[in-house]
Amino acid sequence: MTCVNHHKRAANTVRMVALFAWVAVLALLLRSASAAEDVLQVTLAGRDVAVWKPAGAASKVGYPLILFSHGYTGCNTQSVFLMEALAQAGYLVLAPNHKDATCGTAREAWYPGKRLANHPQEPFRDPAKWSDATYKNRADDIESILNAVLRQGSFQGVFIDRRHIGVAGHSLGGYTALGLAGGWPAWKDRRIKAVLALSPHCSPFVLKGDLGHLSLPVMYQGGTRDLGETPVVKRSGGGYDLSSAPKFYVEFDGAGHFAWTDLNKKYQQLINAYSVAFFDRYLKGIKNPDPLAPLLGSSRPNGISQVRAAEK
């Protein structure tokens, strides 16, 4: 019992260190990044929303839509590299600033220590205290902007294919995305057809959620140096194992928790490749050639330490 308690304390310590690293590093994130400064920002359903318009010609029914949820105390322009790649691939991308946003265009002015002052709604180290009421405001943000956009025939001159909607999220944004996919049944939005979970906080779903009945494609991405979240996704009986198929797990060799933000350029090309290919298969329905196939086999790109897939 003593050994078990020791391991639990060690695991909690690792998660707390990861959380404080997230808080500290995000103090530097995108406060003056030129890529973020060029992003179109609009007010939609009372939320500040970053917009990336799709490139290329749309199908007769319009462009597929992807909604992005940022990490805890991040902001809607924390991952411009990925948003731009999705837009270039022909997706309309919308990303709100959640209430906890503290960088980029967050409504409250930044000040030293602001991120430390914004305590999480429940301790990240204690998933037993989480429920479908925890960060429900984030789900409400995504739902509100989705409803507002779909009430219109087009958005910012872009016609939307309302049958093909995906959601992506990083860290606490991954929690938001998985919740909307059905990790919390009360949050489930059946309009969402695919979910991309980037180093997601999924321990509440592993303990008490319903990942086994997502009934839509999910891709998890993690990193070998992402000590706070990836282990919960990849371990036996973790987020990936519990999720319904089709499901994928992609692990980037040496990647830490910030690999999915603009802070680290090393993995951006690989992240873009897997993310775009996933949505191309499941939102655009591209099958010939299958965009995911070359990324999943033994000849997959260098820098990928592990790939797992269950397609049925």
The predicted-structure confidence for 166-187, as pLDDT tens digits, reads as follows: 999 999 999 999 999 999 999 9
113: pLDDT strictly greater than 70: no
The predicted-structure confidence for 207-255, as pLDDT tens digits, reads as follows: 999 999 999 999 999 999 999 999 999 999 999 999 999 999 999 999 9
Tell me how crowded residue 218 is: count the other CB atoms within 10 A of its CB.
27
- Give the largest Cα separation in the chain, rounded: 63
Report pTM.
Answer: 0.89
Please state, in angstroms and as integers, the Cα–Cα distance from residue 211 to each residue in 89, 143, 144, following that order. 29, 20, 23
* Locus of tokens 């991308």: 93
22: pLDDT strictly greater than 70: no
281: pLDDT strictly greater than 80: yes
The predicted-structure confidence for 62-105, as pLDDT tens digits, reads as follows: 999 999 999 999 999 999 999 999 999 999 999 999 999 988 87
Q: Both tokens of residue 242? A: 């519990």
Q: How confident is the model at residue 120 (pLDDT cuts 50, 70, 90)?
A: confident
May I ask the CATH architecture of the domain 2-310? 3-Layer(aba) Sandwich (3.40)
Q: Is the peptide bond before 127 cis (omega within 30 degrees of 0)?
A: no
146: pLDDT strictly greater than 80: yes
User: Domain locations in the chain?
Assistant: 2-310
262: pLDDT strictly greater than 60: yes
Query: What number of CA atoms fall less than 13 Å from residue 118's CA on the CB side?
Result: 22
Q: Both tokens of residue 204? A: 């509440």
Instruction: For residues 46 and 25, give the distance between their C-alpha atoms in angstroms, rounded to a whole number.
Output: 29
Instruction: For residues 306 and 300, give the distance between their C-alpha atoms in angstroms, rounded to a whole number.
Output: 10
